[in-house]
Amino acid sequence: MASIQLDKIGKSFGAVDTIREIDLAIDDGEFVCLLGPSGCGKTTTLRMIAGLEQPSRGSIRIGGRDVTCAQPKDRNIGMVFQDYALYPHMTIADNIAYPLKVRGVAEATRHEKAREIAEVLHIGQLLDRLPAQISGGQQQRTSLARALVHPAAAFLFDEPLSNLDARMRVEARAFLHHLQRSRGMTAVYVTHDQAEAMALSTRIAVMCAGDIVQYAPPLEIYRRPATTFVAGFVGDPPMNLVAAQATRNGHDVALRGAGLQMAPIVSWPALDLALERSDRVTVGVRPEHLRITAGDVATNRLHGKLFANEAMGPESLVTLDLDGGVRVTARIFGDASLRIESDAAFAFDADRFTLFDAQGVRIPGAAEDPSN
Amino acid sequence: MSSRGAKVSSRTGVAFMTPAALLIGLFVVFPFFWIIAVSFSNRSLLGANALHPQFVGLKNYLDLFDPATFWGQGGFGPSLWLTIQFVVFSALCGQVLLGLVLAWISRELSPRAKSLLHGIVMLAWILPDVVVGFAWFAYLDRDAGTLNQLLRGLNFPAADFLIEHPFLTICMFNAWRGAAFSMMLFDAALQSIPPSYLETADVVGASSWQKLRDIVLPLIRGHIVTDLILITMWTFNVFTPFLLTAGGPSFESDILPIYTYRIAFKSFEFGKGAAIGVIVMLINLAFSLAYLRLAQRGLRKKGKAA
Amino acid sequence: MNRRKLVSRIVFSVCAALLGVAFALPLIWFVFAPFNAQADLDLALPKPPTLANFARVFANGAAVGALLNSLLQAFGTVLLVATTATLAAYALARTTLRGKRVIEYVLLLFSSVVSGSAAMVPIFLIVNALGLIDTQLAVILVFAGGLLPTAMFILRDFIASIPRGYEESALVAGASQWRAFVDVVVPVLRPGVTIAAVWAFVQVWGGFLIPFVLLRSEQRMPASVEIYSFYSQAGTPIVPLLAAYSVLYSLPVIALYWYVNRKYGFRFFGGIKS
Ligand SMILES: Nc1ncnc2c1ncn2[C@@H]1O[C@H](COP(=O)(O)OP(=O)(O)O)[C@@H](O)[C@H]1O
Ligand SMILES: [Mg+2]
């Protein structure tokens, strides 16, 4: 196992800067997810680590060794592809054993090793079949076995679960989690599914348009999203974001927006700094921090017309169209008997919201260390 | 669409290309340029002009188009005119129409009957040139050939087709020989039409002819144009009729490829033969440019739709 | 409605039958004559059917020799075309080679513009200059050059349809580029190579003009030229022999087409069989 460092990595295709400048330090034994919407450059980043794509700028080290210009075969990595890339003309056993074959391991030994890892992944009974003769989930595990059969320095995954159906995806996710934590392998994992990233990672690197916008442990990202982009991407449903205007009144700041009503808050240095630049802010509230309120009793509230009320079993997702046209969703435990198009309001507690400045960057809270 | 990944390095690419490039360069590209050069010379097989051919400028071309001999017996003019007729009758009317009819008819047949019909038509297409040449030689024999036996049986007068109607014969022959390509192309095109389109027409009570005219033909227009261009180009260059009539009798089936062969390898006037070759290649160039443009337009359209 | 359907069914069937007969007519003679020891150009049931004609073909040294020449030329060309076209097609499909598009475009143009009959003169002169007139090698080389562009396009399309992930996962697994090509691309490409090889084989096997122009001596002629000289020159052709010989000579082509059609289905690979 080894650490991975990306140092000022950039990639341009022609005149387009697909990756602008990425710094990423992955410790030995970490499970790092590259999370972001489609087209933001996750796969490109992963392929540069694998050596399948040559970076235009910067350098890459694996286990301390500079591999920026090394061939893929000289990087000692295991990789699982989105479409599995199993060789259709080889049996499952030969597929799994291929990394050993190219390293000149004798046939008996490599089939023994392939069998061992196949047993771990519960595909031991399929070794003589061809890839076309096994199910999607089994193919996924075969490609995992092929990556794991050789003790690589690091393992790379490009959306390995996205071709599975929903139930198998959750199952495979837990399995991967268990495997990585128990073996302590270094893994880089690309996904656009924030739930997968939350469940698997020790740290998540959230990417947006060729940049890493936040690199932190999952709960940190969830609790303190660095930007409105991260806030709107992580969580299901994601954080509600409502534009507001700040008015100072001595130490107090009043926040007002269409459909938003809040009690004045006591300012702190970081907020002061932000408001000096602009009085426009964004208020973010997680859906689970909203509750249905009646009348005008709550001081911090969002009000509008009920758009949808979806009962999911243990919870309900209630969506309002705010007066300003923004749509917000609350996650209500138990069910809410509300009629479509009727007036409704959500309340939230004074310590349960996040503020972002006019550029969409989070304003650190009063109690936080501002260096965070 | 991005072309990403697993890039073979340019040096490997060059190494991989080299053997093919040598062969193509030597036997496709080089002939192309040499033929142009030779067409400006008085090169011949034997004699002084074989070793030291002289530059004669446009003489070969001027000779070809010399008004005094252009329309003469065995001249360039009649051959060109004959070739145009040959393309129009045997390719455009013959192969394309036959192919369309065959594809349309076989849609209504049972799978067995369809594969039998296709098998017979394909056989005419895949058999080697000399075998079909011999088959037609036997088929058309004045006294015993199958066709004349049949005609006599039906109380028609027998004829020596190769002598009496050489042009008609090579037209029939070429239509018969090549219809399979159009048939298969149109068959594929017809299969790409969603059945629901035709069923909708069935529901409103359209006849078979109306379906063909109003729905099918507009939908497979692209295939038809592709077919027309390819078939025209191939027929324009086909040498096989040589095996039936050798261009005769008295040049009545002297289409351009045979004419070229005769000038170059019977009279050994390489310069003049090359000049004809250049003209033929220019005509081919026009067709293939048209085809490429069309193919690219088709691709772009497909890309947009996807 | 139903009535009309029935009528149209009958009309279609009759048309199909007539067309089928029309297409079969020129070949029907071939069903009987080879098995008739006294065959002439007329359509006659052989009585009794016999394989004597085939035996006579096999006893004829020139005929067998010509078939062997055909085999040699076809196999030689197929080998050359299959290897060089696979390599070149891989380069076309997978490299970052600059000007790749231009190469493709020019190739496509040249291969369709330079037709056999137009290029006969310069090809003859080049082969003459190389001192290869009247050699089997010349026939193989010239055929290979002519067939390569199309074979390359067929294979390029096949390679383009192979997911790059196959090679990439081999590279990541520790294989060199050449190794990934040999271990993964070549086996996956086998249907494509088969189709291109069959096509090339059939072209050479049936090819008439190129050996006709490039070869002189009887003992190097392939079956195509041999058959032609049998029925075009030698006064009265020995019909029974020729019929049996033609059938023998056609069998490989029919068998190969049948095989490809059954195994891969008939598709259009860049205007195959030009
Ligand atoms: N070989 C390439 N040539 C040109 N553009 C590319 C290439 N590879 C990727 N891109 C572009 O780079 C961007 C990022 O791609 P990718 O890394 O695949 O994103 P993700 O995996 O996050 O969906 C996309 O806009 C894609 O079109
Ligand atoms: Mg991706």
Peptide bond into B257 cis (omega under 30): no
Residues 6+ apart with CB under 8 A from A57: A8, A9, A10, A11, A21
Q: Which helix (H) or strand (E) holds A233?
A: helix A228-233
- Contact between residue C223 and residue C68 where contact means Cβ atoms under 8 Å apart: no
Residues of C within 8 A of B109 (CB-CB) are 12-13, 16
- Contact between residue B280 and residue B260 where contact means Cβ atoms under 8 Å apart: yes
How near does any CA of chain B get to the CA of A143, in Å? 18
Question: What CA–CA distance (Å, rounded) separates A146 from A136?
Answer: 15
| CB of residue A39 inside a 6 A radius of ligand 1 | yes
Type of residue numbered A184: G
Half-sphere exposure of C237 (CA within 13 A, CB side): 23
In this structure, the number of other CB atoms found within 10 A of the CB of residue A122 comes to: 12
Question: What CA–CA distance (Å, rounded) separates B26 from A316?
Answer: 75
Q: Which helix (H) or strand (E) holds A168?
A: helix A166-183
What residue in A sits closest to C179 (Cα-Cα)?
A102
Residue C274 reports pLDDT greater than 60:
no
What spacing in Å lies between the alpha carbon of A82 and ligand 2's midpoint?
Answer: 8
pLDDT by residue, tens only, chain A of 372 residues: 789 999 999 999 888 899 999 999 999 999 999 999 999 999 999 999 999 999 999 999 999 999 998 989 999 999 999 889 999 999 999 999 999 999 999 999 999 999 999 998 889 999 999 999 999 889 999 999 999 898 899 999 999 988 888 888 888 899 899 989 988 899 999 999 999 999 999 999 999 999 999 999 999 999 999 999 999 999 989 999 999 999 988 889 999 998 898 999 999 999 999 999 999 999 999 999 999 887 677 789 999 999 999 888 888 899 999 987 899 999 998 777 778 888 889 999 988 899 999 999 999 987 675 554
Whether A77 sits inside 8 A of C172 (CB atoms) is: yes
Query: Among A137-151, A190-204, B274-288, C46-60, whose mean pLDDT is lowest?
Result: C46-60
Whether A88 sits inside 8 A of C171 (CB atoms) is: no
What spacing in Å lies between the alpha carbon of C60 and ligand 2's midpoint?
Answer: 67
Type of residue numbered B1: M
Computed over every residue of chain B, the mean pLDDT equals 81
| CB of residue A40 inside a 6 A radius of ligand 1 | yes
List chain C domain ranges. 2-50, 60-264
**What pTM, to 2 d.p., does this model score?**
0.80
| CB of residue A71 inside a 6 A radius of ligand 1 | no
CATH class for the domain made up of A4-232: alpha beta
B44-91 per-position pLDDT tens digit:
766 666 667 777 778 888 887 777 777 777 788 888 888 998 998 998
Type of residue numbered B158: A
Q: Which of A51, A126, A50, A40 lies closest to A91 in space, CA to CA?
A: A126
What residue in C sits closest to A143 (Cα-Cα)?
C169
Chains that touch C (3 or more CB pairs under 8 A): A, B
Residue A207: its pLDDT value, please? 95
How near does any CA of chain B get to the CA of C189, in Å? 16
Residue A151, both tokens = 């003790």
- Residues of A numbered 13-52 whose beta carbons fall under 8 angstroms of chain B's beta carbons: which are they? 13, 47, 52
List chain A domain ranges. 4-232, 238-356
Question: Pairing mode, if any, of strands A187-191 and A31-35?
Answer: parallel
Peptide bond into B249 cis (omega under 30): yes
B31 touches chain C (CB under 8 A): yes
SS3 (DSSP) at A242: strand
| CB of residue A100 inside a 6 A radius of ligand 1 | no
- Contact between residue B241 and residue B173 where contact means Cβ atoms under 8 Å apart: yes
In this structure, the number of other CB atoms found within 10 A of the CB of residue B177 comes to: 25
Atom 12 (ligand 1) nearest CA: A18
Residue C235: its pLDDT value, please? 59
Atom 6 (ligand 1) nearest CA: B2
- Residues of B numbered 129-158 whose beta carbons fall under 8 angstroms of chain C's beta carbons: which are they? 129-139, 141, 143-147, 149-150
SS3 (DSSP) at A21: strand
Residue C270 reports pLDDT greater than 50:
no
Pick the CATH number of C60-264 from 3.40.1550.10, 1.10.3720.10, 1.20.140.10, 3.40.50.300: 1.10.3720.10
Question: What CA–CA distance (Å, rounded) separates C136 from C29?
Answer: 33
Q: To test ligand 1's pocket by mutation, which of A9, A12, A13 has the most ligand atoms within 8 angstroms of CB? A: A13
Q: What is the ipTM of this complex?
A: 0.84
| CB of residue A210 inside a 6 A radius of ligand 1 | no
Assigned superfamily of A238-356: Nucleic acid-binding proteins (2.40.50.140)
What spacing in Å lies between the alpha carbon of A46 and ligand 2's midpoint?
Answer: 9
The rounded Cα B143 to chain-centroid distance in angstroms is 31
Cα angle value C121/C126/C131 (rounded, 5°): 125
B120-130 per-position pLDDT tens digit:
998 888 898 88
Q: Which of A246, A193, A259 lies closest to A356 in space, CA to CA?
A: A246
Question: What CA–CA distance (Å, rounded) separates C194 from C24?
Answer: 29
Pick the CATH number of B35-305 from 1.10.287.130, 1.10.3720.10, 3.30.230.70, 1.20.910.10: 1.10.3720.10
C141 touches chain B (CB under 8 A): yes
What spacing in Å lies between the alpha carbon of A157 and ligand 2's midpoint?
Answer: 10
> What order do you get walking across the sheet with A187-191 strand by strand?
A77-80, A154-158, A187-191, A31-35, A203-208, A211-216
C137 touches chain B (CB under 8 A): no
Task: Give, to the nearest 10 degrees, the angle between helix B97-106 and helix B166-191.
Answer: 40
Residue A217: its pLDDT value, please? 96
Residue B301: its pLDDT value, please? 53
Ligand 1 atom with the smallest distance to the CA of B4 is: 1
